[in-house]
Structure 1
Amino acid sequence: MSDFLTEFHAAAEAYGLSLTEEQFQQFDRYATLLLEWNTRMNLTALTEPRDVAVKHMIDSLTAYDAAIFAGRPAVLDVGTGAGFPGLPLKIFAPQIHLTLMDSLAKRVSFLEAVVQELGLDGVRCIHARAEEAARDKAHRERYDLAVSRAVARLPVLLEYTLPFVKPGGRLLALKGRAWEEELADSKRSLKLLGGAVRETRPVHLPGLDDKRAVLVIEKTAPTPKAYPRKAGTPAKKPL
């Protein structure tokens, strides 16, 4: 058993997750590919087996909620980077239809390689900026769920993500220690973009004493056509 798999087994048990042997092997292969490709391009600063197991894989799975992921939802991971949280969620809940979106072509090549190596069905990898893709009818308000981790502060992230979500759908935002402050700063953007906070779920990762939460935001009304603004504007001038 690899060092990663040893750590991942322990972390999954500590967090109360039940996985099949096939799923464990898929996570192991994903971690191996992540570190192999990381020698050629910048995918992650975390390379120790325990860090990859806990801070990437288990952290991504904290977004999972059986009720929210019931059925075969169309899930979009905005600014997925090396595939977090989308790919761990797909391995854990293979019934989902997953779209991975990232603005860097090299990262999309990595994601395509992982999807092929792991034999994952129902996954699309798209090279696009969120501000531009959200104006495409093929993507705008087409998704049941959007997920995102470590992309931007919440007021900015809402403009990147909510335009993709169908009314009645949800955004699952994985946030760090400043989540309460970010939430307080997001009242205007939520109102403008058609979102409402439905749940704030504190997260405690195995062996870590830090502050994290999953924010569940419902799409309560269609997003006005003015949003998202042109590429670069949301980050420079948050709503």
Structure 2
Amino acid sequence: MKNEPPYPIASVDHALHLAMLLQQEGPMRVSDAAERLGVSPSTAHRLLAMLVYRDFAEQRPDRRYQAGEVLRPTVTTQAPVTLLREVALPHMQELADAEEESVNLIVLAGTEARFLATAESRAPQILRVGTRAGRSLPAHLTSGGKAILAALPAENLTALYDGDTEVDLPRLRRELARVRKRGFALNNQETETGLTAIGVRVRAPSHGLIAAVAIAIPTARFRRDRLPHWVSALASTASAVERELEARA
């Protein structure tokens, strides 16, 4: 499990986070960058200027900034990320505070599960799962990724993984069938030692969207007898997000 360094350098962290956002989510304005990082517009502008100077970013004619040539291309998601994040975060924070665990919002980008946002519990717990916002992990290993993959048509799944020598497609199909039957997906230390996560899908047909919300729990605190409760809480959160997304369609 990754933990924040004991002596973090905020400016470096902001610059790296911003570069990652530009690469994974596409062009943004200075005000967008400021809002995402939780800094002032002037600070965001200075960060972007430095990224441009080092070719990590470039400014477009419409004055928005996009990933520069240093950042290798990455698969983009088709999800309406700004709307999804805006709608989902309040519900995620409510769940994080109720369960005293971190909650992640996830979309699919190719065969990657992309973490759009994290709501961290405000409970004073030393052992906790920190933010995963901006990270990408193999979708077939993460709970949220599995929840999304399980909702895809069979032909879409084949198109994603056919010929991929690192993924046993028949085995993945069997696991996704279990996910559909149970209504949730589990990641028991498949991506990080010491981390267990439970994910359920979020579907908004009017937006052509399938995403997922997942609760991330230190494995030392995970209990099988609590699984039905966590799944029910996640399902309620997913339903609330779906209703609001549809109301805004």
Check whether TM > 0.5: no
Category of TM-score, reference length = shorter chain: 0.3 to 0.5
TM-score (norm 1): 0.34
TM-score (norm 2): 0.33
Higher helix share: 2
Larger radius of gyration between Structure 1 and Structure 2: 2
